[in-house]
Structure 1
C-alpha cells in the first residue's frame, strides 16, 4: 500500500511539474540546442484566399470586424470574404447584408447556418462553398493587422506546411488582474509554440487567426475545435503545423473571472479525449519530436485536474512517513489558501493573481470533465461579453 501511494504521489507530482515547469524549460533549451533557421517567407506568393469569419449573435462587433476586413493589405482580385453566421437571431445578418450592399466592389458574402451546432460545424458547412486555394479563419471579435493575411500566405513555402497559426495579442492586458494573468500565460505559451513549429510542428493554434490549404481541409466533429484538432490532424498525416507571429490579431481577454472561467470550461469540453487522442502519438520513431511536444504541452496539462487531486490525497496518507511529505502537504494547503484569499479579497498582488488564475484553470478542467460525464458538453457556448 505504501509503495502504491508513493507511486501515485510521485507520478502526480511529475505530471504537474513537467506540464508547468519542466516541459517549458526543456523546450527553451531545445530551441537553443537544435539550430534551425527561423521560418522562411516568400512575400511574392499570393494565392487566392477566402477569409472566413464565424459569428453567432455578434451585432455588437460585426460592423467593426467588417470594417477591419477592408483594411487588409492583399490584392483585391486574390481575396474573398465569407461571413458564416451560425444561426444568428439578433441583427448580425442584417448588418452583414447592409454592409455587402454598400461595398459592391468587395467580394464578400454571407452564409447562413440554419441549425446552430457551433463554430466548427459552421466552418464545415461554409467551407464547402469555398473555391479559393487557402482559407484564413478568424473570429468576429478578433481584429486583424493589415498585413496578417500576407504574412500567413508568405509562410506556406513548402508542400508539407498545411497549417499556419498567427499571433493573438491580448489588447486589454493592463485592464485588471484577470486579463493580465491571461496575457502573462499566453505570452509564455507563444514562445513555446514558436520553438515547436521551428523544430517540427505545433500542438495547438488559436481561433483568432490561422490559415490552411482549402484542399486539405478536414470536417471535424462539431464538438471539437480547430485550435486543437487541426495541428494534431496534420501532424499525424506527416504535415506540418507552424506559426508565424508576424501575422497578428488583436482580441480582448475576459475582464471578469466569470467570463474567463466560462471560456476555460468551454475549452475543456473534450479534455478526456485530448489526453491521448490517438495511439499513434506513442510512435516516437515515426512522429519524433511531435510525440514529445504533445506529451509535455498537452497530455500533462490535460491531466492537471486529476494530478492535483491524487497528489493531495496520497500526500495525506504519507504525512507521517517523513518531514518531506509533511512539508509538501503544508505547501499544497498554503497554495490553495492563497488562492482563496485572492478569491475573497480585493488584494492585487502579482503572485496571488497567478496562483488564483492557475486554480481557476484547474477548476475549469474539473467542470469540463463533469460536463462530459453528464452530457452537458456542447459544441456551442455563450460568448464572454467582456471580450466584446
Structure 2
C-alpha cells in the first residue's frame, strides 16, 4: 500500500511539472519565430479615431499621470476621444477638471455613475464612444510611448480583432519579475500561433463594430479583458499580444497577496464562462491546455506531496526536500506561489467574485 502511495504521488507531481514545462518549451519556440501576420503601416492621415475609456474608482493619486501619459503617445490628438467612467468618492473628478482646464484642446467626456463593477462602467462609456477603435485602460498603469499607435497598426490587419499588451511590472521584487518573464513569453508565443487566452486591462484595443456586435463587455465576471479576448478569438479573428505594445503595471507593496488572489479569481471566472464557446481548430490546443493548467493542474501538487509524505519513503522525503531548496530559485518560487494562489482563488470564487473590491494603493 505504501509503495502504491509513493508511485501515485510521484506520478501526480511528474504530471504537474511535465505538462506546463513541455507546453512552455513548445510555446517558447513559437515566441522566437517571426509573425505570420503583420501589423499594417498606416499613414498619420489615415489613422482611425480612437476612443480611450478609463474606468476609475478613487484614482485621485494616479489619474493625472495617466492622462499625461496618454497625451505623450505619438498619436494625433485630434483623433483621440478620452472617456472617464467614474464612480469615485474621492477628488478624482476635481483633479480631472483641473487637468482639463490646462489642456483645452483635449476631447474628454466625463461620465459619473454609481459603482456597479468595471464591466458596467465600460459599457456605459461605450455608449458615448465615437471612435472606430475602442481602447480600455486602467488608471493605475502607463503605456510606452508608441504602444497606442502600434496597437492600432495591428488592428489595421483584417485578421486581427483585438490587441492587448506585454506587461512590465513596477514593484513586486524578483518573484514578480520572474513570473512576468515567463508569462509574457507564453502570451507572445500563443499569439503567433493564433491567439492567447489572457488579456490585460492596462491596454485592450478592439475594433468598435466588433465589440458592439457582441453586446459590449461582460458584467457578471471580473475579467472583462480576458473574456472579451477569448470571445473574439472564438469568432475566428486573432486576439493577440505583440512585443511592441508594452505597458507598465504598478504592483502594490501593501496588499500584494490579496491583489494577486483577486486577479486570479477574475481569470478563473473567464475560463469558466468561456470554456463552452466554439474555438477555431488552431486555437483549441492553446485554450484547453491553458484551461487545464489553470483549473486542474494546481491541485496535483499538494495531492502528490501528501501522498509522498504518507508513503513514508526516504526517496519521497528527499524529493520534497529538493523542492523546498529549489524555492530559492525565483522562477520556481514564482511557479509554486502561483499554484497556491490559483487554488485559493478557486475556493474563494465559491462565495465571492470580487467584482467590486477595496482599493489597494500602488
- TM bin, normalised by shorter chain, reads 0.7 to 0.9
Shift of 1:7: 6.0
1:139 aligned counterpart, secondary structure: coil
Q: Which residue of 1 aligns with 2:129?
A: 130
Q: CA 1:184–1:147 in 2, change beyond 3 Å: closer, same or farther?
A: same
Question: Residue 136 of structure 1 aligns to a residue in which SS?
Answer: strand
Map 1:187-266 onto structure 2 (within 5 A).
187-217=181-211, 218-254=216-252, 256=253, 259-266=255-262
Whether the 8 Å CA contact 1:50–1:79 is kept in 2: the answer is: yes
Counterpart in the other structure of 1:117: 116
Cα distance in 2 for residues equivalent to 1:238 and 1:313 = 43
- Structure 1 gap segments, 5+ residues each: 173-177, 321-325, 340-348
Corresponding residue for residue 73 of structure 2: 72
- Structure 2 alignment gaps of length 5 or more: none
State the match for 1:371 in structure 2: 348
- State the partner residue of 1:323: none
Change (3 A) 1:338 1:145: closer
Q: Deviations over 1:134-174 (max 9, x none)?
A: 111211121222322111111113333110112222244xx
Number of aligned positions between the proteins = 355
Aligned equivalents of 2:280 and 2:291: distance in 1? 15
C-alpha change, 1:197 and 1:97, in structure 2 (3 Å) is same
Deviations 1:78-100 (A, max 9, x none): 11111121x20011111112222
Query: 1:38 offset after TM fit, Å?
Result: 5.8
Residue number among 339, 342, 348 corresponding to 1:362 in the alignment:
339
**TM-score normalised by length of structure 1:** 0.81
Q: 1:132 offset after TM fit, Å? A: 1.2
Contact 1:39 1:198 in 2 (8 A): no
Q: CA deviation at 1:76?
A: 2.3
Matches within 5 A, 1:41-80: 41-44=40-43, 45-80=46-81
Contact 1:31 1:195 in 2 (8 A): yes
1:291 corresponds to: 284
Q: SS state of the match for residue 108, structure 1? A: strand
Q: Secondary structure at the match of 1:360?
A: helix
1:147 lines up with 2:146 in the alignment: yes
Q: Does 1:25 align with 2:25?
A: yes
The CA deviation string for residues 352-382 of structure 1, in whole angstroms up to 9 with x for no partner, is: x455444433332233223222x23321223
C-alpha distance in 2 between matches for 1:244 and 1:355:
26
Shift of 1:209: 1.4
Offset of residue 207 of structure 1: 1.5
When structure 1 is superposed on structure 2, of 270-279 and 70-79 the one drifting more is 270-279
Residue number among 175, 182, 188 corresponding to 1:181 in the alignment: 175
1:335 aligns with 2:333: no
CA offsets, 1:1-42, max 9 Å, x none?
A: 8879956763553144322x221111123456x775363332
Distance 1:13 1:118, change over 3 A: farther
Query: Judging changes above 3 Å, is the alpha-carbon distance between structure 1 residues 356 and 200 closer, same or farther for their aligned structure 2 residues?
Result: closer
CA 1:27–1:358: 2 relative to 1, 3 Å: closer
TM-score by length of 2: 0.86
Partner of 1:380: 356
Once residues 262 and 358 of structure 1 are traced to their aligned partners in structure 2, the CA distance between those partners, rounded to angstroms, is 17
Instruction: Tell me the distance in 2 between the aligned counterparts of 1:356 and 1:4.
Output: 26
- Which residue number corresponds to residue 307 of structure 1? 300
Distance in structure 1 (CA, Å) of the matches to 2:48 and 2:4: 60
